């Protein structure tokens, strides 16, 4: 059986950033990455909105706040060093109601507590100078927000780690794990391996890795599909950069927004609906195992109990395009249904506990030989190098104690 110092499962941006940081710090490490797909970054990383998040939204002191702020700086440095195109274009958060205006002030304060500078509340006429078609009473300008292609970032990370002799095994699915005293045995659909340290960055399947280790499962991944439209090319002028609503503080999604992508396209969305398949990008996709895992989880019913009204509305809006257009018109009244064409979709891995709490912060589970990234939703792409640095430090510590 082939032996490694470290085996890492999952070649999304969190796994690749971890490998990148590890090989920078300890290039002699014998590292193997196992990925079930035939390419890297096929799931959350390859289907996200490509925003470099500023860190304004997250609770001060949370892992999201700390890693987003540190990861932001690390991401820009990585892109500069590797000639990856990005743009710090800033974004506007639009307050449409008086309630929103109050929350805008709170958001600004939160951003400042997280270390952001240059945040500015704009009057309607000031906001119109940047986004002439946007509706608002007031708006918050966030200068740090940027746009990027995270697939390109992932590819550059991969180039570096392959140059350091890391093995990438594609089309290999982790099926079983045996956590021994000194080593972990990895059983895949085609081969068995042994490693001193095992790391899992499995995104939509992170809870299943925990289950493989026979740990009592307190968290399950509930997949939510984000469905997007694109503005037709001749209507892209309606959005200069990024336009977001004031988010609902009780819900871990940002609400329907507009994002100018690094490709020049303008994305509008998402509808966030329960996905019946963890990697199901179409409305009709379903998978019996994934459905069973969702519908047999007590926490799921608690989520429904808490959020059923929002859930029903999101489904309604997913089916009824005019309702989706209504949501967009709150931000840009000039938009009409004929300005939109179908865009892509992405499935978000949302961890949920038994009580139906949607876990907002990043979450890791660890034992002597194992590190598992259990919840890494947005802004984990922005934060990836910071998360990767933390995990690589944990790996090095374990290797030294092994
Ligand atoms: C619609 C959407 C928009 C988003 N927008 C943004 C944004 O603008 N900015 C931002 O910072 N973040 C954004 N995010 C969040 C960000 O994309 C994710 O947090 C990040 O990509 C997570 O990376 P990951 O490596 O953990 O997961 P993934 O990219 O999902 O990678 C996990 C990998 O593990 C592999 N895997 C799983 N199980 C196994 C197994 N048993 N064996 C082998 N391989 C396995 C999978 O095939 C996959 O390749 C968005 C997310 C979504 C869904």
Query: Is the pLDDT score of 163 beyond 90?
Result: yes
Specify the pLDDT at position 215: 67
The H-or-E segment that residue 9 falls in is: strand 2-9
Q: How far is the CA of 222 from the centre of ligand 1 (A)?
A: 14
Q: Which of 387, 55, 369 is nearest to 196 (CA)?
A: 369
Q: What's the whole-number mean pLDDT along residues 323-351?
A: 94
Where does ligand 1 bind, in terms of residues with CB under 6 Å? 9-15, 34-37, 42-45, 47-51, 53, 173-174, 201-205, 226, 346-348, 376-382
Range of lowest pLDDT (38-42, 321-325, 360-364, 372-376)? 321-325
Q: How far is the CA of 360 from the centre of ligand 1 (A)?
A: 16
Alpha-carbon distance 177 to 3, whole Å?
Answer: 14
Q: What's the whole-number mean pLDDT along residues 314-335?
A: 87
| Three-state DSSP state, 16 | helix
Q: Mean pLDDT for the chain?
A: 94
Percentage of residues of the chain with pLDDT beyond 90: 85
The residue whose CA has the least distance to atom 33 of ligand 1 is 10
Range of lowest pLDDT (211-215, 218-222, 288-292, 328-332)? 211-215
Specify the pLDDT at position 306: 84
Specify the pLDDT at position 86: 98
Q: Where are the domains of the chain?
A: 1-86+146-218+361-402, 91-143, 220-235+250-353
Task: Determine the longest span between alpha carbons in the chain, in angstroms.
Answer: 68
Tens of pLDDT, residue by residue over 272-324, are: 889 999 999 999 999 999 999 999 999 999 888 888 777 777 777 777 788 88
Q: How far is the CA of 150 from the centre of ligand 1 (A)?
A: 10
Q: How far is the CA of 133 from the centre of ligand 1 (A)?
A: 33
Q: How far is the CA of 149 from the centre of ligand 1 (A)?
A: 14
Integer Rg of the chain from CA: 21
Instruction: State which of 7, 8, 9, 10 you would mutate to test the pocket of ligand 1, scoring each by most atoms of that ligand within 8 A of its C-beta.
Output: 10
Query: Is the pLDDT score of 194 beyond 70?
Result: yes
Which atom number of ligand 1 is nearest to the Cα of residue 46? 29
Range of lowest pLDDT (212-221, 310-319, 381-390)? 310-319
Which tokens is 330 given?
């709150």
Q: How far is the CA of 97 from the centre of ligand 1 (A)?
A: 34
Residue the block writes with tokens 């998402």: 270
| DSSP assignments along 151-198, one per residue | HHHHHHHHHHHHHTT-EEE-S--EEEEEE-SS-EEEEETTEEEEEEEE
Which tokens is 22 given?
């590890």
Alpha-carbon distance 402 to 334, whole Å?
Answer: 63
pTM: 0.96
Q: How far is the CA of 44 from the centre of ligand 1 (A)?
A: 3
CATH 1.25.10.10 describes domain 1-86+146-218+361-402: no
Specify the pLDDT at position 84: 98
Alpha-carbon distance 96 to 90, whole Å?
Answer: 19
Q: How far is the CA of 372 from the centre of ligand 1 (A)?
A: 14
Specify the pLDDT at position 44: 98
Specify the pLDDT at position 141: 98
Instruction: State which of 32, 37, 45 you would mutate to test the pocket of ligand 1, scoring each by most atoms of that ligand within 8 A of its C-beta.
Output: 45
The residue whose CA has the least distance to atom 50 of ligand 1 is 48
Instruction: State which of 7, 12, 230 you would mutate to test the pocket of ligand 1, scoring each by most atoms of that ligand within 8 A of its C-beta.
Output: 12
Phi, psi of 131 (to 5 degrees): -130, 85
Which atom number of ligand 1 is nearest to the Cα of residue 68? 11
Q: How far apart are the first and last CA of the chain?
A: 19
Q: How distant, in Å, are the alpha carbons of 100, 244, 291 from that of 118?
A: 20, 18, 45
Q: Which of 396, 385, 387, 397 is nearest to 160 (CA)?
A: 385
Sign of CA dihedral 28, 177, 187, 285: negative
Tens of pLDDT, residue by residue over 72-98, are: 999 999 999 999 999 999 999 999 999
Specify the pLDDT at position 310: 79
User: SS3 string of 286-300?
Assistant: CCHHHHHHHHCCHHH
């Amino acid at each position: 059986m082939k032996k490694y110092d470290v085996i890492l499962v999952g070649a999304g941006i969190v796994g690749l950033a971890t490998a990148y940081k590890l090989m920078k710090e300890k290039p002699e490490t014998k590292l193997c990455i196992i990925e079930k797909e035939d390419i890297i970054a096929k799931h959350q990383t390859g289907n996200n909105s490509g925003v470099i998040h500023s860190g304004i939204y997250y609770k001060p002191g949370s892992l999201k706040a700390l890693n987003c702020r540190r990861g932001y700086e690390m991401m820009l440095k990585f892109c500069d060093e590797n000639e990856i195109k990005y743009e710090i274009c800033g974004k506007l958060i639009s307050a449409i109601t008086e309630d929103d205006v109050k929350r805008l002030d709170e958001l600004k304060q939160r951003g400042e507590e997280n270390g952001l500078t240059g945040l500015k509340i704009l009057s309607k006429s000031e906001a119109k100078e940047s986004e002439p078609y946007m509706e608002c009473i007031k708006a918050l300008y966030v200068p740090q927000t940027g746009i990027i292609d995270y697939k390109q970032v992932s590819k550059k990370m991969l180039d570096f780690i392959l140059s350091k002799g890391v093995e990438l095994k594609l089309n290999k699915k982790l099926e079983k794990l045996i956590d021994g005293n000194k080593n972990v045995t990895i059983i895949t659909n085609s081969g068995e391996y042994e490693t001193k340290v095992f790391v899992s960055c499995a995104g939509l399947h992170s809870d299943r890795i925990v289950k493989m280790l026979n740990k009592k499962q307190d968290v399950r991944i509930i997949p939510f599909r984000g469905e997007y439209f694109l503005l037709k090319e001749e209507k892209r002028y309606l959005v200069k950069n990024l336009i977001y609503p004031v988010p609902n503080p009780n819900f871990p999604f940002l609400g329907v927004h507009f994002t100018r992508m690094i490709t020049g396209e303008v994305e509008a969305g998402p509808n966030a609906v329960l996905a019946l398949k963890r990697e199901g990008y179409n409305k009709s996709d379903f998978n019996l195992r994934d459905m069973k895992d969702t519908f047999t989880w007590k926490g799921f019913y608690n989520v429904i109990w808490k959020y059923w009204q929002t859930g029903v509305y999101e489904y309604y809006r997913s089916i009824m395009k005019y309702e989706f257009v209504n949501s967009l018109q709150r931000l840009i009244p000039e938009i009409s249904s004929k300005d939109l064409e179908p865009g892509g979709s992405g499935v978000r891995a949302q961890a949920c506990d038994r009580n139906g709490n949607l876990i907002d912060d990043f979450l890791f589970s660890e034992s002597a030989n194992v590190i598992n990234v259990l919840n890494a939703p947005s802004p984990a792409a922005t934060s990836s190098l910071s998360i990767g640095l933390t995990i690589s430090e944990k790996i090095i510590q374990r290797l030294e104690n092994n």
